[in-house]
Structure formats: structure tokens, C-alpha cells
Amino acid sequence: MTKSCEEGARSPKKCVEPVLSVRDLVIDIVHEGRILRIIDAISFDIYSGEVIDLVGPSGCGKSTLLLTVARLRPKTSGHMSICGRDEQEMDGRSWRQSVVYVPQKATLIGGSVSDNLLIPWKFSCRKKVPAPKDDILRAGLDALGLRDVELDRDAKRLSGGQAARIALLRALVLKPPLLLLDEVDAALDDESAALVGAYVRSCAEAGQAFVRVRHRPPDGFATRRVYLAEGHITSARSDGADDSVERKL
């Protein structure tokens, strides 16, 4: 992560280059012995402050695209850079500290809620980085509608919706420049999903960027929507008008 982007995570104006730049990305998958091209030479940029909804029919490759951008699966060809740094300059783990993917299926390990939120600080890449204090974790839980969940509660006693928000908060407190959220609100009721949307938008306004795969109706918190179908993306308006249309919906 470049210094400019670390600062950019707090102040979007300081990071002028795209957070993520993707050029001519091609992704082939092997399905029943046949090679299928599910992403066909797409290019796009994502800037800090953006909340992009990636929509499209089921099975069109949305999750595969997010996993590839997070370097959690291989691409066939193409080029990516994060905060101006070429992917070739970074190993996968360094890249994934800047681009954090949150899967739909929330995975919590044994221990308390606090233990789960602080898992990333047990990894060698963050040994020297101070872990967030309890008051920061508490504020995050409150913002996501988890006021009744204590930090020392056993993670096994959480509902599916609570676990989904804990898994999301675990990625949010890392404050990476780009977060890729793969249907993280699928297990939530409308009220909780709205709280999550609002919190994501507030984090974006503080300088982060988000891509959300969602199958819910537009919630008004996206700054633009991108459609993926048959290996190509088409972009909706990115001037904010889209946002107002979604709000009306």
C-alpha cells in the first residue's frame, strides 16, 4: 500500500489516482472439461469514495470477478494496479492487504466476538500494527445494528445475520483502500441491511472504496451501478444521478 493511499483511506482528496485500475482482464474457467470465458477483456477504474454495485444475472461471474481482483483466484490475462502500484511489484499477500474480499458466507472461528474481530492482527503481516481498541470495535458494532452484542459474547451464540455483520466489521476495521463485498447483506433483514449500507457509505465518504455484489433492490447508498453480463460490463451513470434514482426506488 502506498503512503498516498494510506492517507487516502482517511481523506479521499489526497488519493488522486484510481484506487484500483484494471485493464483487459480476461478470466477463463474450466467447467465440465470445457474452457469458458466468463470475463472477456474488461477494463475499469475504481476511485476512493465510490460505492459500486456490481449487478447481473446469477452465474454471470460477479463473485469470480471479485475473487480475481482480490487475487484469490487466477486470471487468464490482463493487468491490475492498486493505488498506482503494479500488481507485479506486490506479492499476493501484500495485495490482499489493500484489497480485502468479504465472502457471502460469514466464517467465524471459536472464541468471542472480540477474538473474531481481531483475527487479522494475529497474522504476521500486522504483528507491528496496533490492534483497534475496544471502543472502536464497540462503535462499529453499534453502527451495524449490533448494540445488543457484547464483545465478549461467544461467537457460537450469534445468529446468521449477526455473524455476517461481525465478518463485515472484521474487514472494515482493517481500513483497506478497497473492499469487495460479496452479498454480505444477503442474510440480513431490511433494517439491518440499510444500516450496513449506510455504514459502508460513510466509510466510503471517509476515503475507502467499495464494490458490492447484491441481489437486493437498490438501497440508495451506491454511487454507481455496474452491470456484468456475458463477460462484459456496462456502467450506469457515475455522476451521482444514479444514486438519486436509487434513493427514489
Partner 1 sequence: MIALRGSYEMGGVPEIGNIELLCAAGFMLVAGLVSYRSAMGLEKDIAISTLRAFVQLIALGFVLGWVFDNQSWEMVLLIMFIMVLNATQIARGRIKSCPSGITLQLFVSLLITSFTMVFLVVELIVKPELWYDARVVVGIFGMILGNAMSSSAVALDRTFSSLDARSDEVLALISLGATPLEAARPSIMSAVRAGMIPTLATLSAAGVVQIPGMMTGQVLAGADPLSAAKYQLVLLMAISATTTLCNIAVVRWCFRKRFSSDGYYLDSTLRGASRSR
Q: Which positions lie near partner 1, rule CB under 8 A?
A: 29-30, 70-77, 91-93, 96-97, 100-103, 105, 107, 109, 119-120, 122-126, 167, 170-171, 174
CA distance 127 to 121: 6
Residue number, 72 or 194, with CB nearest to partner 1? 72
Residue number, 116 or 223, with CB nearest to partner 1? 116
Residue number, 31 or 248, with CB nearest to partner 1? 31
Least CB distance to partner 1 at residue 237 (A): 31
Taken as a whole, the chain contains a residue count of 249
Instruction: Check the CA dihedral 121-126-128-131 and report its sign.
Output: negative
The x, y and z cell numbers of residue 28, run together, are: 477463463
What is the Cα gyration radius of the chain? 18
Residue number, 73 or 153, with CB nearest to partner 1? 73
Beta bridge partners of 77: 26
Contact (Cβ atoms closer than 8 angstroms) between residue 229 and residue 201: no
Least CB distance to partner 1 at residue 1 (A): 11
Kindly give the interhelix angle for 160-172 and 190-205, rounded to the nearest 10 degrees. Answer: 0
Least CB distance to partner 1 at residue 18 (A): 21
Least CB distance to partner 1 at residue 29 (A): 7
